[in-house]
Structure 1
Amino acid sequence: MTTATASPAPGTRQPRGRARRAAVLEAARRLFAKQGFKGASLAAIAQEAGLTDAGLLYHFPTKSDLLLAVIAEGDREQDEALEKVREAQGLPLLERMAEFGADLEADPILTALDVTLSAENLAADSEINRYFVDRYQRFRDMLTTAFEEARRAGDLIGDFDPAVEAANMTAVLDGLRLQWLLSDGAVSMADGMRAYVGGVIARLAPRA
C-alpha cells in the first residue's frame, strides 16, 4: 500500500515563494493579534507583508485558510515550548511550569494572538473554537497526570484533587497572561508563575 503525500502549499517550492509565504504568516500573526480575525483585512495583511492582494491570495486563497495556517504555525511553536516541560514528569514537570510564564513572555505576539483568538471564538462552534477547547484539555490532562505522578512518588501529599489543581494552575497562567498583556508587561507572568507554582508545591509537599 502506498501512502499519499500532501501537495506542498502554494508557492513553497522555491526559496522566494517560501519567504513570501512566511512574510504573510508573520504579518497576519501581528495584525490578528492586534485587531482580531474579524478586524484584520486581507488587504491590510498584504500591505504589511509587502505583497499585492493577488500575491497574498496565491498563497492563501481565503482568509480562513490564512488563519488556520497562522494557528498551525503558532501551535508548532507552542509545542516546542511545551517540549521543555514534557521532558519532565511528576514533580519536576510541575517545577518546570514555574518557568512557563517566562516562556510566554518571550513571544509576546504569539501570546497576544492566543488571547485574541480564544476570546473571539469563546462560544462559537467552529474549527478555531474546537482547537482551543482541545488544546486546553490536553494542557490540563498533562498537569493532572503530573500531580498524580507526584503523589504516587510521595513528592506531594494530602487530600488534593489533581484535576482541580491542574485547572487552577491553568487558570492562574491564563489570568497572568491577560494581565501581562493589558498592563503592557507591568504585571509579570514570569514572577507570578514562579510564586504560584512555588506556593502550590510548598502547600502539598511533605513536612520536613
Structure 2
Amino acid sequence: MNIIVRKARGEWRREQILEAAARIVGEKGYHGFGIQELAKACGLSNAGLLHHFPSKDEVLIAVLRERDRRDADAVSLRLKICEPSDSGDLSLEVLLRSLRAAVIQNSQQKDFVRLYAVLRAEALNRDHPAHRYFDEREAGALELFERLFRPFVSDPAAVARHLLALMHGLELQWLREEFAFDLVAEWDRQILQLTAFAKQAAPIIKE
C-alpha cells in the first residue's frame, strides 16, 4: 500500500513540475528559466526537483513529450478512433475532423501553445537541446499528413506542408494578438477558403 501511495505521489509531483515548467518556459524560453526557479514554483528544493528530473534538459524534453501525449489522447477521444495503419481506412471527412480536433485541443491549452511557439523558434539553433526533437517531430508530422492525404489530393506533400504552415501560423497570430480571435473558427474559415481556392486555381495552374 505504501508503495502505491508513494508512486501516486511521485506521479502527481512529476505532473506538477511539468505544468510549472511549461508555464515558465512558455513565458521566458528555455534559456530564461533555471532549476532553482522551477523548484521554488513547485515548493521543492533543487535536490527534490532533480530527484524527479536529473537535468534541465530532461525537464524540457519531458514537457514536450507530455504535451504530445495529451494531444494524441485528446484527438483520439474526440474522434473515438485510433490512428489507422493504412490511410485508406480514413474518409476525407474524418481526416479533416481529426485536424480540427487537434486545433480544438490547442485552443484549450494556451500555455502549451505558447511553449511550443517559443521553443520551435529557439530550437532552430542546432545547439539547442530540443533541436533534434523538433526536427523529428516536424518531419514526422509532414510524413503523416502526406500519407493520410495521398488518396484524396494530387500533391499530398504540398498539402501536408501547407496545412502544417497554416496551423503554426494561426497559432502565432493567436498568441501575438493575445487570443483576440477564435482559433477554431478561424481554422474552419481558412480550410473552406483553401478548398475553394484550390478548386478555382487548379485549371489555371495546369495551363
Q: TM-score range by the shorter chain?
A: 0.7 to 0.9
**Whole-angstrom CA distance in 2 between matches of 1:184 and 1:178:** 10
Which structure has the higher relative contact order (CA within 8 Å, separation 6+)? 1
Matched, 1:190 2:184: yes
Matched with 2:90 is 89
**Whole-angstrom CA distance in 2 between matches of 1:95 and 1:201:** 15
TM-score, normalization: structure 1? 0.79
Percent of aligned pairs with the same residue?
30
Higher helix share: 2
TM-score, normalization: structure 2? 0.79
Question: CA offset at residue 53 of structure 1?
Answer: 1.6
- Unmatched runs of 5 consecutive residues or more in structure 2: 201-207
Contact 1:46 1:53 (C-alpha < 8 Å) held by counterparts: yes
Question: CA offset at residue 132 of structure 1?
Answer: 1.1
Which one-letter code corresponds to 1:124 in the other structure? Answer: R
Question: CA offset at residue 117 of structure 1?
Answer: 1.1
**Aligned positions, number:** 187
**Whole-angstrom CA distance in 2 between matches of 1:82 and 1:125:** 32
- Unmatched runs of 5 consecutive residues or more in structure 1: 1-11, 152-159
The partner residue of 2:25 within 17, 23, 32 is 32
The partner residue of 1:62 within 40, 55, 64 is 55
Contact 2:17 2:42 (C-alpha < 8 Å) held by counterparts: yes
Which one-letter code corresponds to 1:141 in the other structure? Answer: E
Matched with 2:204 is none
Question: CA offset at residue 66 of structure 1?
Answer: 1.4
Matched, 1:47 2:43: no
- Pairs within 5 Å for 1:118-157: 118-125=120-127, 128-151=130-153
Which one-letter code corresponds to 1:117 in the other structure? Answer: L
> SS in structure 1 opposite 2:104?
helix
The partner residue of 1:169 within 140, 163, 168 is 163
Runs (4 or more) in structure 1 with deviation over 6 Å come to none
Matched with 1:202 is 196
Contact 1:115 1:178 (C-alpha < 8 Å) held by counterparts: yes
Contact 1:140 1:167 (C-alpha < 8 Å) held by counterparts: yes
Contact 1:95 1:197 (C-alpha < 8 Å) held by counterparts: no
Shift in alpha-carbon separation, 1:56–1:96, aligned structure 2, 3 A: closer
Question: CA offset at residue 82 of structure 1?
Answer: 4.6
Question: CA offset at residue 102 of structure 1?
Answer: 2.3
